[in-house]
Structure 1
Amino acid sequence: MPRSPKIPPFQIGTHQVEAGQRAQISLPVGSFLTHEELVLKAVVVHGKLPGPTLLLTACIHGDEYNGSEVIRRILRTPALKKLKGTLIAVPIVNRPGFVTRSRYMPDRRDLNRLFPGSPNGPLGSRLARVLSDSLLPLCDVVIDLHTGAVNRPNLPQIRITVDDDKALELAKSFAPPVILVAPKRESSFRGTCRDLNKPVLLFESGEALRLDTPSIRFGVQGVLSVMRQMGMLSLKKPSSPRAAPIISNKSYWERAPRGGIFTPLAPLGRVVTAGSVIGFIADPYGSAETEVTCTRSGIVIGRTNDATADEGDGLFHIAMTDKLDSAEDRLAMTSEALPSLNADTDDHPVPYDSIQDTVI
């Protein structure tokens, strides 16, 4: 019986990870004003058999914790024992923001607007450069995990770049409720991935500073499904039928017609039609109420939970689609049947459901 070919070690800079091993590595970035070193930490799982390389990243915005929890669970799944290829996982890209519960770097810059970065720029730019130079060239596919901002939860969704056919194929395998096809955003991590011809899936779900069940379950099951699609894990039959994702090529924000106390009437995942009332703004002094109506039909994929709004504030993020009737049925399936996870993967069940806005 012929022997399996010997798999060479996986090399990142000066670090080597042998086949069948995992290691946590640290890539130097720079130093804080306290003279403490900032490093980019990654976990590398190098399979015993050849295959592609997947890069998982989370917390480019430091307060978007759902992605870190998704990666933690992926790293604990027993399926990785039979991994083909290599998984590079970076649970916390923006470590300064993570520890201070902040979206931004210490200088208040948005790390996701500093790519591909510079080796001689400020700390965020140097961090972006290490990720762009040291890890991106080694991978075949990227999955970047995000959430909405504070008090702005997102429906589980994948965002891909226009004309990225490989990413679209993998996004369908991920099977979120919605796939949003959007133009490349310059100076973002997604934009840099596309510049290097790396298919990239940007997963958005939930909100900052909070863990929730749909975000974690869609994230974990989606990543594992993509890994099976890539041939990194063995295929298996899905435990239950899953609704096909709704694909949208355009979205917009419904904004506050005036300032006041805001009451939303449309939850995440709701199909809304042009002219329908989806909330209202009330004068705090009781003299008037202003309806918030849809200007275009679509699906609510993001929403503010703030109790107040200024005139022009974004209230509802709506993805447009020309198949609203079928979309309503598919979204109903999504909200009623969360992806199931086994006990090993769902080791710390999270009781909050951002779609139903309930405690489970």
Structure 2
Amino acid sequence: MARESFAIGSVRIRAGSTRNLELPITRLVTGSDVSLPVRVVHGREDGPTVWLSAAIHGDEVVGVEVIRQVLAGLDPKSFRGTLVAVPVVNVLGFMAGDRYLPDRRDLNRSFPGSARGSLASRIAHLFMTEVVAKCDVGLDLHTGSDRRSNLPQVRADLDDALTLELAQAFGAPVMLHAGIRDGSLRHAAREQGAKVLLYEAGECLRFDAWAIDAGVIGVRRVLAALEMTEPVNEPAPPPSIESRASGWVRARRTGILHLDATLGQHVTEGERLGALHDSFGKTLRLVHANRTGIVIGRTEQPLVNSGDALVHVADVTTPVD
């Protein structure tokens, strides 16, 4: 018996096929329509339904490329289950190279949204009703913000057995047990029963190849762990370092930052991470680690004010060899 077709928007996708479609969002003042671009890979055989999303923040472009590469390697005739890919959720922010929507709202603080709310709320509601409500698992792809770069990492509810299993399968260098923020996609999706992994890597408005590569192989490993594809033909990654807490080292003076700490570096509390100088090179203040752990994020901005976040250090739960 043939598998049922998959309904989304106003279309149905037959089993063993791929379909591109657009979900209407709004109309610009010019009269042009703005839509949410979606690709559905509806496998010939039964399996889970998974979504991939990126660019909820319009300047976070790494995930867009991750999704493009993942989709290029999928064959719906041998695929099990259904994949709903939304490479650009914040379409208007993406076109402008802006993190936010035109009304300056953060889309990732607007879920689950409302059909009659603000533009952000309407996009969130559309995504929840047409994508999340149909899926069992979601992978939401992000990068660092505000001129920061992030080590490839998965943020998720590691106390949930299946979520932990999928985070381990992803194989990022670090998996962080991250709290849920009200209004976030992860919070709203979890309320509907979906398991969600949030992938962070790289810097906004850049195609960092290392962040893209880690994201592509990680997503492929998760699809394989869900038995939607065959196992990935790559060496198994080292076990992810598990972290239950993290914090930022902040600037204690205003100055020009010379940062020595690198992403993935293991540091001990009190270790020197860099220094703040004036424009003539005089040292104003040294920067030291405020905890022992691994560097999972750093600022790429050399001009900093007192109180600015400089280095993100995650505590290490899993012993490091």
Q: State the secondary structure of the residue aligned to 2:148.
A: coil
Q: Which amino acid aligns with 1:202?
A: L
1:10 aligns with 2:15: no
CA distance in 1, matches of 2:62, 2:260: 26
CA distance in 1, matches of 2:133, 2:317: 38
Residue number in structure 2 paired with 1:128: 124
Give the drift of 1:300: 0.5
Q: Which amino acid aligns with 2:305?
A: D
Q: State the secondary structure of the residue aligned to 1:131.
A: helix
CA distance in 2, matches of 1:302, 1:198: 27
1:292 aligns with 2:292: no
Q: Deviations over 1:301-331 (max 9, x none)?
A: 00001111100000001111145642xxxxx
Sequence identity of aligned pairs in percent? Answer: 42
The answer to whether the 8 Å contact 2:112/2:188 transfers is yes
The answer to whether the 8 Å contact 1:150/1:209 transfers is no
Find the partner of 2:274 among 257, 271, 279. 279
Find the partner of 2:24 among 12, 24, 28. 28
Q: State the secondary structure of the residue aligned to 2:219.
A: helix
CA distance in 1, matches of 2:231, 2:207: 29
Change in 2 beyond 3 A, CA 1:241/1:120: closer
Change in 2 beyond 3 A, CA 1:324/1:253: farther
CA distance in 2, matches of 1:203, 1:304: 18
CA distance in 1, matches of 2:97, 2:179: 29
Q: State the secondary structure of the residue aligned to 1:186.
A: coil
Q: Deviations over 1:228-285 (max 9, x none)?
A: 111111225x432421000000000000011000010110000010111101111235
Give the drift of 1:162: 5.3
The answer to whether the 8 Å contact 1:272/1:294 transfers is yes
CA distance in 1, matches of 2:196, 2:74: 25
Residue number in structure 1 paired with 2:193: 197
Residue number in structure 1 paired with 2:260: 265
Give the drift of 1:163: 3.0
* Runs of at least 5 residues in structure 1 that lack an aligned partner in the other structure: 327-360
CA distance in 2, matches of 1:195, 1:82: 32
The answer to whether the 8 Å contact 1:22/1:45 transfers is yes
The answer to whether the 8 Å contact 2:43/2:80 transfers is yes
The answer to whether the 8 Å contact 1:80/1:233 transfers is no
The answer to whether the 8 Å contact 2:142/2:199 transfers is yes
Give the drift of 1:119: 1.0
TM-score, length of structure 2 as denominator length = 0.96
CA distance in 2, matches of 1:17, 1:47: 10
Change in 2 beyond 3 A, CA 1:324/1:312: farther
CA distance in 2, matches of 1:117, 1:36: 23
Matches within 5 A, 1:315-354: 315-323=310-318, 325-326=320-321
Q: Which amino acid aligns with 2:223?
A: M
Q: Which amino acid aligns with 2:11?
A: H
Give the drift of 1:60: 0.3
TM-score, length of structure 1 as denominator length = 0.86
CA distance in 2, matches of 1:44, 1:287: 57
Q: State the secondary structure of the residue aligned to 2:199.
A: strand
1:52 aligns with 2:81: no
Q: Out of 272-281 and 155-164, give the one that drifted further.
A: 155-164
CA distance in 1, matches of 2:158, 2:173: 19
Give the drift of 1:138: 0.5
1:212 aligns with 2:208: yes
Residue number in structure 2 paired with 1:222: 218
Residue number in structure 2 paired with 1:147: 143
Q: Which amino acid aligns with 2:25?
A: V
Q: CA RMSD in A?
A: 1.5
The answer to whether the 8 Å contact 1:79/1:233 transfers is no
Residue number in structure 2 paired with 1:239: 234
Give the drift of 1:151: 2.5
Q: State the secondary structure of the residue aligned to 1:210.
A: coil
CA distance in 1, matches of 2:258, 2:176: 26
Change in 2 beyond 3 A, CA 1:235/1:24: same
* Runs of at least 5 residues in structure 2 that lack an aligned partner in the other structure: none
CA distance in 2, matches of 1:282, 1:119: 51
Give the drift of 1:105: 0.5
The answer to whether the 8 Å contact 2:16/2:76 transfers is no
Change in 2 beyond 3 A, CA 1:241/1:43: closer
